[in-house]
Amino acid sequence: MESGKGSNDALNTLNASAPKSSKYAAMVLRSQYPSRWRFLIAFVAVVVSASVMFTYAALDAYDILPGPLTFKTQHISSTVSSPRALLRAQSLAKGASYGKPINREQSQKLIDALIADPSISDNTSVVIMDANGSVIASHEANTPREPASTLKTLTAAVASRTLDMGSTLDTQVFLLPKSAKNSEQSS
Q: End-to-end CA distance of the chain: give it in Å, rounded.
A: 101
Predicted local confidence at residue 15, as pLDDT: 47
Residue 30 per-residue DSSP state: T
Q: Which amino acid is at 23?
A: K
Q: Give the side-chain half-sphere CA count within 13 A for 101.
A: 5
Give the integer Cα–Cα distance in Å for 114 and 85.
24
Question: Which pLDDT band holds residue 1 (cuts at 50, 70, 90)?
Answer: very low
Give the integer Cα–Cα distance in Å for 161 and 181.
40
- Three-state secondary-structure class, residue 118: coil
Question: Which pLDDT band holds residue 2 (cuts at 50, 70, 90)?
Answer: very low
Segment 99-124 mean pLDDT:
87
- Three-state secondary-structure class, residue 123: coil
Segment 27-55 mean pLDDT:
83
Hey, how many other C-beta atoms are within 10 angstroms of the C-beta on 137? 20
Closest CA to 84 of 46, 127, 118, 24: 127
Greater pLDDT, 173 or 20 = 173
Residue 84 per-residue DSSP state: G
Maximum Cα interatomic distance, the chain, rounded to a whole number of Å: 117
Residue 68 per-residue DSSP state: S
Predicted local confidence at residue 105, as pLDDT: 94
Question: Which pLDDT band holds residue 94 (cuts at 50, 70, 90)?
Answer: low
Rg over alpha carbons for the chain, rounded to the nearest Å, is: 38
Closest CA to 129 of 84, 95, 160, 163: 84
